[in-house]
Amino acid sequence: MTRDSVPTPALLVDLDAFESNVRAMAGWVTVRGKGWRPHGKTHKCPAIAQRLVDAGASGACTAKLGEAEVFAAHGLRGLLVTTAVVGADKAARAAALAAMAPDTIVVADDLGQVAVLDRAAGEAGVRLRVAVDLYFGRTGVPPGEPACAVARAIDTAPHLAFAGLQAYDATASHTRGAEARRARTTTTMAAAVDTRRRLDADGIACPMVSAGSTGSYRYDADLDGLTELQPGSFIFMDSDYLSIGGDDGGDAYTDFQPALSVVTTVVSVHGDEAIVDGGYKAFATDRPFAPAPIGRPDLAYAWAGDEHGRIDMRRADRRLAVGDRLEFRAPHCDPTVNLYDAIHALRGDTVDAVWAVAARGKSQ
Ligand SMILES: Cc1ncc(COP(=O)(O)O)c(C=O)c1O
């Protein structure tokens, strides 16, 4: 199969760009003495998680238990489920997962849930590793004494082991402008490091402080007290991340290369409009901007329904015809990937591999 014969709409990854991104992240963090556990919520793909481990990652983060179950079934270890596991049913699943993959870590931010996890681990006969999720505006328990109280509860629970702190700051990752991003993450991560210090003073060993993202990794990697980074989008990039601003003060963020695209086919043409076979079901629609036609700044995309997009050809240098193919940069990579069963990995124009998005839809 080649780029021109993949049935559309389809998700493509450029292997040269992907591999360059992986090398860039691996090099940056290892030179600074940090570990990295890239976030699998971006790709939901065991084949990619394995490639990242092969490049030196210690394992994979997953957003949900369901994703972790899929990754574990594919032989991946070193899993960190970054969203709190809430409720007895899910606690039982977490314990079952720990029986299969004992180094799995789940997070908690609530004393009641710590007790639920402890009960489930006891019933399953496992020692479940639990980290405290720190609050920076969404989930988690506030850093400092509130977080230490949850850590103490985990540490003293008979069937749990305290695994450390998770300190992901979603706002830092997409703060526009490099200086503002540096300032935000340096401030919030100082609270995470302070929490670790308090635990040390209490005699509670804190083996992990996991934090960071594609937007903040550069600054987080320099912070003493963080042990590992958990970036996700850097492997693919998307229109949003490509415009958060770089060190030169401009809008472009060039630390990583765009590697992901969606290829569509023109299925109808009317005057100055071409209709492609990619609509709401081909691209995530959570960003305020449309998919960007790659290499065709003379064309503009607008949503035209579930299955279709409308291409404005009024300023076209070259007009499109039925059967032409058009590739786009996705506005937001993670939820776009979740729309596809497979990722076609291209070396140049040749399909080198087809990777199953095996954890697609595993949001429970
Ligand atoms: C908990 C957590 N960690 C890390 C990441 C990775 O962030 P990014 O894709 O911005 O690198 C995310 C992304 O949403 C996340 O939710």
Rounding to the nearest 10 degrees, give the CA dihedral for residues 101, 105, 106, 107: 180
**For residue 217, which atom of ligand 1 is closest to its CA?**
11
Is the separation of the CB atoms in 106 and 137 below 8 Å?
no
**For ligand 1, atom 2, which residue shows the shortest CA distance?**
168
- 224-236 tens-digit pLDDT: 999 999 999 999 9
d(CA 298, CA 285): 22
Edge-to-edge strand ranges of the sheet holding 128-133: 35-36, 228-229, 209-211, 160-166, 128-133, 105-108, 79-81, 60-62
Rounding to the nearest 10 degrees, give the CA dihedral for residues 196, 200, 202, 206: 60
From 62, 105, 175, 213, the mutation candidate for ligand 1 (largest count of ligand atoms within 8 A of CB) is 213
d(CA 197, CA 151): 13
Q: What letter represents residue 61's amino acid?
A: C
Is the model's pLDDT at 356 over the cut of 90? yes
Give the sign of the dihedral formed by CA 192, CA 193, CA 198, CA 200.
positive
Pocket lining: 83 vs ligand 1, CB cutoff 6 Å: no
Pocket lining: 168 vs ligand 1, CB cutoff 6 Å: yes
- 77-131 tens-digit pLDDT: 999 999 999 999 999 999 999 999 999 999 999 999 999 999 999 999 999 999 9
Count the neighbouring beta carbons within 10 Å of the beta carbon of residue 102. Answer: 12
DSSP collapsed to 3 states, 83-104: CCCCCHHHHHHHHHHHHHCCCC
d(CA 126, CA 140): 25
**DSSP for 334-361, written as a single string:** HHHHTT-SEEEEEETTEEEEEEE-TTTT
At 290, is the pLDDT very low, low, confident or very high (cuts 50, 70, 90)?
very high
d(CA 277, CA 308): 5
pLDDT for res 248: 86
d(CA 332, CA 283): 8
Q: Give the residues across from 302 on adjacent strands.
A: 310
What is the separation, in whole angstroms, between the first and last Cα of the chain?
34
Is the model's pLDDT at 249 over the cut of 90? no
Give the CA distances from residue 39 to residues 80, 195, 210, 228, in Å, rounded to whole numbers and listed in that order. Answer: 9, 23, 11, 12
Is the separation of the CB atoms in 320 and 220 below 8 Å?
no
- 167-217 tens-digit pLDDT: 999 999 999 999 999 999 999 999 999 999 999 999 999 999 999 999 999
Please tell me the distance between residue 230's alpha carbon and the centre of ligand 1 in angstroms.
Answer: 7
Pocket lining: 216 vs ligand 1, CB cutoff 6 Å: no
Pocket lining: 212 vs ligand 1, CB cutoff 6 Å: no
**For ligand 1, atom 14, which residue shows the shortest CA distance?**
170
The b/e string for 302-316 (b: 16+ C-beta within 10 A; e otherwise) is eebeeebbbbebeee
Pocket lining: 214 vs ligand 1, CB cutoff 6 Å: yes
At 58, is the pLDDT very low, low, confident or very high (cuts 50, 70, 90)?
very high
The pLDDT > 70 percentage for the chain reads: 100
pLDDT for res 29: 97
Is the separation of the CB atoms in 11 and 359 below 8 Å?
no
**For residue 212, which atom of ligand 1 is closest to its CA?**
4
The pLDDT > 90 percentage for the chain reads: 99
From 107, 165, 168, the mutation candidate for ligand 1 (largest count of ligand atoms within 8 A of CB) is 168
Segment 341-360 mean pLDDT: 98
Is the model's pLDDT at 247 over the cut of 90? no
Could you tell me which CATH number the domain at 15-237 has? Answer: 3.20.20.10
pLDDT for res 292: 96
At 255, is the pLDDT very low, low, confident or very high (cuts 50, 70, 90)?
very high
Pocket lining: 231 vs ligand 1, CB cutoff 6 Å: yes
pLDDT for res 60: 98
